[in-house]
A and B are shown apart, each in its own frame.
Chain A
Amino acid sequence: MKLDIKGIAASPGLAVAQVYVYHSNEYIPAESRIEQPELEVKRLQTAINEVKQELEIIRASTEERLGADKAEIFEGHLMIAEDPDLIDGIIEKIKEDSVNAEFALYEVSKSFIEVLSQMDNEYLRERVADVRDVCNQIMNRLRGVEQQGLSTLTGEYIVISEDLSPSDTAKLNLESVKGFVTEIGGRTSHSAIMARSLGIPAIVGAGKDLRQIKSGEWAILDATEGTLLVNPSPDELANFTEKKSSYDQRQAELAQWVNRRTISADDHHVELAANIGKLEDVQKALDNGAEAIGLFRTEFLYMGRSTLPSEEEQFNSYKYVLEKMQNKPVVIRTLDIGGDKELPYLDLPKESNPFLGQRALRLCLERPDIFRTQLRALLRASRYGNLKIMFPMIAVLSELREAKQLLSEERSKLEAEGVELAEYIEVGMMIEVPAAAISADLFAKEVDFFSIGTNDLIQYTMAADRMNETVSYLYQPCHPSILRLIRMVIEAARKEGKWVGMCGEMAGDETAIPFLLGLGLHEFSMSAGSILRARELIGSLSKKEWDVHTDQAMTLASQDEIQAFVRNHQQGGAIL
């Protein structure tokens, strides 16, 4: 039967192979009365000890293969195998009810599983899989059953299962398992995390349709799209083979750029940085070869909660990012709230034009209590890495001066308290209001760097709400007006010896990159997934040539003309 199944793309990649349907066996033991509970307890303890030994082996081999953080899953499993409430609970049941160890284990683990399954936190619900996994292993030992594993598979397979436990995933024979699809699970389930670190294609949460698939059927797994095509037609197979070979080639090409500096064909260095919004994004940035964090949006610390984050909480978050980046630059933007981002607990008055209202730094200056707390946390974290502080949404000089004044007051206070801080912290501002771009020469004297926030700069320059579909045609990153503003900003900074970054979507836009290189942008900050493509592209461009091309393009009249010009030159075409 032909089936087209859709799930969550948990780990990218493509595979075609026969299906192997794997059942992680849940065994329901019978209750039997026993005469000597002490012997039963001993049997249980032996089984637990054996499982602990095996977990220790898996933990060590996972640490060697995938690193300490992935091995933590098995440290968690070891803790379950040692958990006093679980183990004592089973022993108590064996003794009090004079029942066999298998039944006592089943009953006690079931009660924990039931409670955890009912939690309204997805993360905790997923931990049920851990308890089940460990208890299954103890059960198998008690029964003297060799665990049915995926380690002994030979041939090439796509594994289909209701779920894969961490120990199943850790034991996968990667020679043979080309990918897997599970019925349940989300992007953060263990199997998804493990798949990403093993680099094996995986789809999770594909639903009950999977149950219709039988071992031995052929399937195409497209984990870039999250689809599984069972019993594909010859045409579909041919299309897939083509897609797979170009995908493999592209991945190999991109992977070689991870640990390189970003250098143009004529040896001009620019910095490729990542925009992050959450602490877990830092690892993704590093995995994708980010040379810096060009924008850490601190909003997430304030959102999805009912009170303001404390200084301590913020300090810990900033310190975490700075330490993780190991002295690579980290630009942290102070709170940018308002506009489309609301904080209900601040109970701010409704504004008729929120994007032109009291947002970002404007709000922080109005509420110094909030702002000073963040500045203190930033200052305290500064000695743990290479911190740069950036203020958003500045339109006039007095705003910048006031923000810097507050920062310097907080520095003095902390120093008086004897707190150790970084000796010098670069302070910069976003250029996202046309007024700031036009007066960039004035601002450049008073900051260490600029970062151009193109999303807002385009919106304000074109006077078009980027969420409003009827005027979205005006959202034109490569419009002459925008490029001229960017040029003004970069030139103004250059005159003062300051650097300029860009942290909007435009920094990762392949049509805009040659242009921005020509204009002399120093740092390009984008989503982590775009970095390797950008590095490859920049490596193919000559900065000197683009200096000239950029001047020519600046004379063109529309975004269409400019984009066509860039494409022509990228492909070595004739000059217009």
Chain B
Amino acid sequence: MISKNFTIINPTGFHVRPTKAFVQVASEFPCKINVTNKGKTVNGKSSLSMLTLGIASQDEITLEIDGEKEEEAMEHLGHLLTQIYE
């Protein structure tokens, strides 16, 4: 199991478009992916659950990945968390 923190810089937080990109990539990986914001943890493969985290700009997110290809998933998903979408 690996875990890493990322700061969201997209000015409007992590809304539908970034969430969509994140969930799409997350769903391609066989491993278990958990996303934590402000103490709440959800399944990173569910866009609805991701939206309930209410991730805003400058929030610090913890990504916890467990299973096959976890390193690769961390690299891809970490990049998506710190990207600007608009």
B46 touches A84 (CB 8 A): yes
A574 CB within 8 Å of chain B: no
Contacts of B52 in A (CB 8 A): 112, 115-116, 119
A4 CB within 8 Å of chain B: no
User: CB-CB contacts of A128-139 with B at 8 A, as 1s and 0s?
Assistant: 001100000000
Contacts of B83 in A (CB 8 A): 316
A72 CB within 8 Å of chain B: yes
Cβ distance B35 to chain A, nearest Cβ, rounded Å: 12
Contacts of A305 in B (CB 8 A): 57-58
Complex CA–CA separation, A316 to B82 (angstroms): 10
A83 touches B58 (CB 8 A): no
A85 touches B46 (CB 8 A): yes
B58 touches A76 (CB 8 A): no
If A84-B46, A115-B52, A127-B51 touch, does A320 touch B86 (CB 8 Å cutoff)?
Answer: yes
Pick from A72, A75, A124: contact of B51, CB below 8 A: A124
Interface residues of A in 306-340 (CB under 8 A from B): 306-307, 309-310, 312-313, 316-317, 320
Pick from B11, B20, B43, B56: contact of A121, CB below 8 A: B56
Complex CA–CA separation, A120 to B52 (angstroms): 11
Interface residues of B in 36-54 (CB under 8 A from A): 42-43, 45-49, 51-52, 54
Contacts of B43 in A (CB 8 A): 84-85
A193 CB within 8 Å of chain B: no
If A279-B86, A305-B58 touch, does A123 touch B48 (CB 8 Å cutoff)?
Answer: no
B1 CB within 8 Å of chain A: no
User: Which single residue of chain B is at the shortest CB-CB distance from A283?
Assistant: B86
Complex CA–CA separation, A313 to B17 (angstroms): 17
A86 CB within 8 Å of chain B: yes
A80 CB within 8 Å of chain B: yes
Contacts of A320 in B (CB 8 A): 84, 86
B78 CB within 8 Å of chain A: no
For the side of the interface on A, what is the size category? 20 to 34
B47 touches A79 (CB 8 A): yes
Interface residues of B in 15-47 (CB under 8 A from A): 15-17, 20, 23, 42-43, 45-47
Complex CA–CA separation, A320 to B49 (angstroms): 29
Cβ distance B24 to chain A, nearest Cβ, rounded Å: 8
Pick from A86, A112, A127, A316: contact of B84, CB below 8 A: A316
Complex CA–CA separation, A305 to B10 (angstroms): 12
A469 CB within 8 Å of chain B: no
A123 touches B12 (CB 8 A): yes
Complex CA–CA separation, A307 to B57 (angstroms): 11
Main secondary structure of the interface of B (DSSP, over half): loop
A280 CB within 8 Å of chain B: yes
Pick from A79, A124, A131, A301: contact of B54, CB below 8 A: A124
B84 touches A317 (CB 8 A): yes
Complex CA–CA separation, A84 to B49 (angstroms): 9
A127 touches B15 (CB 8 A): yes
A112 touches B16 (CB 8 A): no
Main secondary structure of the interface of A (DSSP, over half): helix
Complex CA–CA separation, A80 to B51 (angstroms): 11
B15 touches A72 (CB 8 A): no
Cβ distance A227 to chain B, nearest Cβ, rounded Å: 30
Complex CA–CA separation, A86 to B45 (angstroms): 11
A312 touches B45 (CB 8 A): no
Complex CA–CA separation, A76 to B48 (angstroms): 10
Cβ distance A302 to chain B, nearest Cβ, rounded Å: 11
Contacts of A112 in B (CB 8 A): 48, 52
Complex CA–CA separation, A119 to B57 (angstroms): 15
B54 touches A119 (CB 8 A): yes
Complex CA–CA separation, A115 to B51 (angstroms): 9
Complex CA–CA separation, A72 to B52 (angstroms): 20
Contacts of B17 in A (CB 8 A): 72, 76
A310 touches B9 (CB 8 A): yes
Complex CA–CA separation, A38 to B53 (angstroms): 32
Interface core residue of B23, B49, B51, B86 (most chain A CB under 10 Å): B51
Cβ distance B50 to chain A, nearest Cβ, rounded Å: 9
User: Which single residue of chain B is at the shortest CB-CB distance from A278?
Assistant: B11
B84 touches A120 (CB 8 A): no
Contacts of A306 in B (CB 8 A): 58
If A86-B46, A131-B48, A316-B83 touch, does A309 touch B9 (CB 8 Å cutoff)?
Answer: yes
Complex CA–CA separation, A120 to B59 (angstroms): 14
User: Which single residue of chain B is at the shortest CB-CB distance from A320?
Assistant: B84
User: Which single residue of chain B is at the shortest CB-CB distance from A130?
Assistant: B16
B86 touches A80 (CB 8 A): no
Complex CA–CA separation, A80 to B47 (angstroms): 7
User: Which single residue of chain A is at the shortest CB-CB distance from B43?
Assistant: A85
B58 touches A86 (CB 8 A): no
Contacts of A313 in B (CB 8 A): 9, 84
Complex CA–CA separation, A127 to B52 (angstroms): 10
Contacts of B23 in A (CB 8 A): 79
Pick from A84, A86, A127, A279: contact of B11, CB below 8 A: A279
Cβ distance B44 to chain A, nearest Cβ, rounded Å: 10
Complex CA–CA separation, A121 to B45 (angstroms): 22
Complex CA–CA separation, A85 to B13 (angstroms): 22
User: Which B residues form the contact surface with A (CB < 8 A)?
Assistant: 9, 11-13, 15-17, 20, 23, 42-43, 45-49, 51-52, 54, 56-58, 82-84, 86
A-B contact pairs, 25 of them (CB 8 A): A72-B17, A76-B17, A76-B20, A79-B23, A80-B47, A85-B48, A86-B46, A86-B48, A119-B52, A119-B54, A120-B54, A121-B13, A121-B56, A123-B12, A123-B13, A124-B51, A124-B54, A131-B48, A301-B11, A305-B57, A306-B58, A310-B9, A316-B83, A316-B84, A317-B84
Given contacts A279-B11, A312-B82, 11 further A-B contacts (CB under 8 A): A72-B16, A80-B48, A83-B46, A83-B49, A84-B45, A85-B48, A116-B51, A119-B54, A121-B56, A305-B57, A316-B84
User: Which A residues form the contact surface with B (CB < 8 A)?
Assistant: 72, 75-76, 79-80, 83-86, 112, 115-116, 119-121, 123-124, 127, 130-131, 279-280, 300-301, 305-307, 309-310, 312-313, 316-317, 320
Nearest 3 pairs between A and B by C-beta? Answer: A316-B84, A85-B46, A313-B9
